Structure 1
Amino acid sequence: MIKWSTVDTPAGPFCAVVDADGVVLASGWTAYTDDLLPQVAPSLMFETLVEAPDLGPVTRAVTAYHEGDLEAIDDIPVNQSSGPYLQHAWKVLRTVAPGKLTSYAEFASLTGKPRAVRAAASACSRNAVALFVPCHRIVRSDGSVGEFRWGPDRKKWLLHHERTHS
């Protein structure tokens, strides 16, 4: 059974979709699953989606993160499906420390492909499990936030929150 829930956070409503094992398939700052589901890979799609009042460890991690425990999200399992580079890039994103600005060029280098800046940016834009794969930690070389699916103001809020609590 695939479940979803929305948590009120200081950054706005945060919705997550999890599989029967509690693995996050999609997440982001929205109250609506319709904003999340287009990002889920076709191979991970499902027919039944049930609202739950609480997603256990996922809900606790989202709440703890927004209260200042930035490491609360680190061990939450996620599942995304794509080609080898994106899969690798998403794993690398989970190693980017909170509170330190990392440019798209630096991120590309971390993936082992320093010239693949556009591919690194694509990994951020195609990330279906925001927060748990912290693409918000990647910024432009000049330090500006760049684009973010959940809006530049929310990305600024997240970066400020992480600088304050790291």
Structure 2
Amino acid sequence: MTSPTPLSSAVVDVVGRPFRAIWTPEDGALRAGGFATDADPGADRLIARLERLDPALAARGLAAAPATDGPVVDALRAYAGGDLTAIDAIPVAQPETPFRGEVWRALRRVPGGRAVTYTELATLAGRPAAVRAAASGCANNLVALVVPCHRIVRADGGLGGYLFGADLKERLLRHEGALR
């Protein structure tokens, strides 16, 4: 019996912060993505979240060397360089419940340069009254940036939370032109 192919990974600078992407090489689907922070400079918490949400996938481990090119890396670099639509074509896959899946698909329909409220996100996901559940979908998103939970803001105009910090959320929204 052969062991499964290790997961591919890469680190790409996005808005001045290292962004770590992890994907399955057989289909190119992004399985996890997150930013390094001062508290987690290697983005190791991303692996821990993947292990918690999809233990079998995480057990494949990471390839010995990070990827330096290919569709995921090229799309992330293009996004970082200003092509806000470049990440839209990256396939994603993460463990989901039916409603969380709808929230994540709705997030992917929010274009770069636009921010919507949690209430609008719930409506886009087909359940206007499920604002807290939509917010929970953002909080449990394993594929940050590509499933763009940073584009969701509070109804009062505040940024709201972001796993990688409000400062980074603001930088991403400025990069995309959603904030001036």
Q: Name the TM-score, length of structure 2 as normaliser.
A: 0.85
The match for 2:61 among 48, 68, 72 is: 48
Task: Give the C-alpha shift of residue 33 in structure 1.
Answer: 4.6
Query: Which entry has the higher C-alpha Rg, 1 or 2?
Result: 2
The aligned amino acid for 2:13 is: D
Structure 2: tracts of 5 or more residues without a match: 1-5
The structure 1 residue matched to 2:118, chosen from 83, 95, 104, is: 104
Q: Per-residue deviation at 1:12? A: 0.6
Structure 1 CA distance for aligned equivalents of residues 68 and 59 of structure 2: 20
Q: 1:55: how far off?
A: 4.8
Distance 1:155 1:115 in 2: 25
| Letter of the structure 2 residue corresponding to residue 36 of structure 1 | L
Q: Deviations over 1:25-67 (max 9, x none)?
A: 1011125252212332225433321232425111111111111
Q: Match of 1:163, SS?
A: coil
Which is worse superposed, 17-26 or 136-145? 17-26
Tell me the TM-score normalised to structure 1 length.
0.92
Give the total of aligned pairs. Answer: 165
After superposition, the C-alpha distances for 1:132-151 in whole angstroms (9 at most, x for unaligned) are: 10110000001111110111
CA contact (8 A) 1:89 1:120 kept: yes
User: Aligned-pair distance for 1:7?
Assistant: 1.6
Aligned position for 2:33:
27
C-alpha distance 55-120 of structure 1, shift in aligned 2 (>3 A): farther
- Which blocks of at least 5 consecutive residues in structure 1 are unaligned? none
